[in-house]
Structure 1
Amino acid sequence: MEQTTDNEARIRAAWQANGEPWTEAVRGGCIASRRQATDAAILSAVQALAPRSVLDIGCGEGWLARALAAKGIDVTGIDGSAELVAAARAAGGGTFHRVDYEHLGAPGGLPLAEPGSFDVAVCNFSLLGKASTASVIEAVPRWLAPKGYLVIQTLHPLACADGAYRDGWREGSWAGLGEGFGEPAPWYFRTFEGWSGLFGSADFVIEDLLEPRLPGTDTPASVLFVLSRKV
């Protein structure tokens, strides 16, 4: 596949171009794995940490922010897609900003927030790139409270290895999500070893690892990491 910089640009372009059909797919309940397992899994994992404030990184059209706000949690959402941020703002439930991942770690990279403002940062299926994902992991500690957590839900490495269990770029697909989608975003596949190494580089340790399963099957719908910083 193409070089990392080209693929990162393709990711940004795909999400800028497909904000409307993605919003319709999420709000219309078109994604079976989300209905059956993964939405409930991320909500449960975040609520178990009893946060007062959450930073939703890659918030999309804002469904998670709205769900957490309904539980009395203060949520700030960020996303690189202006269209998705506009959809989130229109629906309410949090404060939303358009922020590119590579700017998150810079002073002032998160509007209207001070360093250490959040009890939990959450990335729910929102870490697709190679360099962009690394930049998020490196930046998150700036915004977490001293005993804060990072919660990541992503594709399960063993469920989508396709016989090639090694880190590397894969082509994406909108299959099964409905009509109206254009060019899909590529994504960077990571093994468990790859994820672990990335977390360790930012001094995160895995507090918990969950593997939500689809009902009536032994198939993992995702993997969910609950991370804290080394003391």
Structure 2
Amino acid sequence: MRAMILAAGRGERMRPLTDHTPKPLLMVGGKPLIVWHIERLALSGFRELVINHAHLGQQIEAALGDGAQWQLQIRYSAEGTALETAGGIANALPLLGDQPFLVINGDVFTDIDYAKLSLPEGKLAHLVMVDNPPQHAAGDFGLANGMVVETAAQTLTFSGVGIYHPQLFDSVIKGQPAKLAPLLRQAMQQQQVSGQHHAGIWHDIGTPERLQQLDRWLRTQQGAK
């Protein structure tokens, strides 16, 4: 299975840190945020990775290269202007192929075991859900019998990690911005979105303060080893 890391966001909430450095290259725990994902993907057996970029994207390519140092191949999907999540994925489909693929938001940190994720037969998407963080207390969707549903007694937050079938993006016009949530909701209505709950480590790195908190936590963990 191929994987994609979404790295095209401008990172407005991370300014001024992202004025001169793309968000995926911000340092946390002694290495760029995106490298944590790449290392975990490599350890999970992934060998082909696509990374999209827009803002300061050439810095990302210069820093990561072709992926050889992690024993995987990195290919890049450059966007003149950020195409949002679904638009960015649709734009990268020629690099992702015609089989289901894993997508990871570049601005999260997690210990999700990528090797154990799969897309059930006949589904268009499989989402990893997490407990609602303080900054997103209302959550996104619910889980019922292994399926992601729009309304539920208890909501969870989409982790930003999911497996998608290329057909989910059939309606997206290549090169045009498009959001992911409407596509997922439409697929949910057809019972085509499965999901699972992850109770382990997950952080949304959306502000400089949360980046600093994660950096302190990681350094504490490293010092304890």
TM, length-normalised to structure 1: 0.39
TM, length-normalised to structure 2: 0.39
